[in-house]
Chains A and B, each alone.
Chain A
C-alpha cells in the first residue's frame, strides 16, 4: 500500500488549521457573501414599496444603472397582490423585462404621486450602515433612478425594452372580496445561480396586467452594487 505525505494549511490572520470531519472526511467550509468591493458606493440593499390601483399593463417599477464603474445585480424581486373590499375576477400576468441603451429612464406620467426613491431612500436600504456612511449623495450614482408608480403606471423613457420578458408569472384570484395573491418571487437568485448584471445604461422594469382597479401590490427588491473587477 502506497503511503503519502500530508500537509496542513493555516488561515490568513488567525493561524487556525481547517478541520476535516472524521466521517465522511469532508473539509469544513463556511459560505460567505461575495465580495462587493471596498469603495463606499458598493454594497447590498433592499427596498419594499407598495402601489395601489395597478392599471392594466402598467410599468410599476423602473430600475436603471447609469454608472460605468459598477455593475448592479438584482438578486431577488418578490411581489404580492391584495384585493380590497370589492371582489373582482381577474387574471394577472406580472412580467420582468430588461431594458438597454437607456438614454432617459422611465418617467412619471399623469401620476403626480410617482416617487423616485433615489437617493434619499436608498441610503436607508443599505444592509450595513458603514457601506455608504461617509459618501455624499452625488457619489452614490449607481441606481438612477429607482422609480415606482404609486397609484398608476410610469411613462416610458428613451430606451430599448426587450421584446420578451425574462420572467413572467400568472396569478389569478376569485371574485371574493379580500382575496389575495400570496407572495411570489418574480426573480430569485439562489447560491451559485447565474445573475442579472446591469451594465451602464441597462435596467429592469416590472409591469403588470390587471382587470381590477382596487388592487394593492407590494414589491421587495434586493440588489447589490459591485466592482466589475471582482467578478
Chain B
C-alpha cells in the first residue's frame, strides 16, 4: 500500500503531478547558518595605459582560522573609456591563491565592515581579511602562491576605437545550484589578473559573492 510523505508540518503532504507523475519540489538557497552571505562589488578608476602582462587588479583574502568562505560567483565587466587601445587581445584570469602571509597592497581597499554588503541585515559582519581593487594601476602582489593555472579565464579582443566595451558583464567564476563552490580556508583567496593591449585607458569592475560557514560539508 502506498504511503504519503509529510513535511515538518504534518498536514503538508507532498503532491505529485497528475500528468507527468513528477514530484513537486522547490529549490531554496543553502542554509547559511549563524554567519551570512555577502556580495561585494567595486569599479576601478581610469586605469592608465601600459599595464604589465598578467597584472593583478583584484585581490580577496580569507584569513579566519576556524571558519570557511564558499565563493559562489565572480562577475566582471570592463570598458575602454578615454584613450583607445591598440587593437589586440585581452585576457582576464582568476587564480586560486594559497598560503597568504601578506595581503596584496595598493589600489583601493574595499573591505566591508559593520552591516556592509550583507544580503540581509541580520547576518553577521563579514570575517573577510582583505579585499582590494586597482585604482589607476596594478596592485602590488603580497606574499602568496597562485596556482599554476587559473580556475577561470576570459579572452576577448578590442578594436582601436575609443569607447569600445572590453568585456560585457560575464561570470569569471560561477558555482550554480548543485555545483561545488570554491571553499577557502585560512589564508586562502583569489586574485584576478589582466592582460590588455597598449595605449588604452580603461575601467574594470568586479563583483564577488560568497557565503561564510562554520563548516563546509560537501
Query: Which residues does A use to contact B, with CB under 8 Å?
Result: 7-19, 27-35, 89-93, 95-96, 98, 100, 160, 162-175, 179, 182, 184-185, 190-199, 201-202
Contact = CB atoms under 8 A, between A and B. Distances in A.
Nearest to B32: A194
Contacts, number: 198
Contacts of B91: none
Given A30-B25, A171-B165, A194 B204 contact: no
A201 B87 CA distance: 49
B16 A193 contact: no
9 A-B pairs closest in CB distance: A192-B177, A91-B81, A172-B79, A11-B16, A28-B22, A174-B163, A19-B21, A12-B13, A168-B41
Contacts of A168: 41-43, 205-207
Contacts of A11: 4, 13-17, 23
B34 interface: no
A27 B206 CA distance: 39
18 contacts: A14-B15, A18-B22, A19-B22, A27-B23, A28-B20, A28-B21, A28-B22, A29-B25, A91-B79, A91-B82, A169-B77, A170-B79, A170-B203, A174-B163, A184-B77, A191-B27, A194-B32, A202-B121
**What class of interface size applies to chain B in its complex with A?**
35 or more
A190 B41 contact: no
A95 to B, nearest CB: 7
B116 interface: yes
Contact of A190 (B21, B119, B177): B177
Contact of B205 (A34, A169, A196): A169
A199 B120 CA distance: 7
A12 B16 CA distance: 7
Contact of A175 (B29, B75, B119, B162): B162
Interface of B: 2-5, 13-18, 20-30, 32, 37, 39-43, 46, 72, 75, 77-82, 110, 112-113, 115-122, 161-165, 168-169, 176-178, 203-207, 209, 211
Nearest to A161: B116
Interface of A, helix, strand, loop or mixed by DSSP: loop
B72 A193 contact: yes
A49 B18 CA distance: 40
A11 B116 CA distance: 45
A9 B2 contact: yes
A167 B206 CA distance: 8
B118 A98 contact: yes
Contacts of B116: 162-164
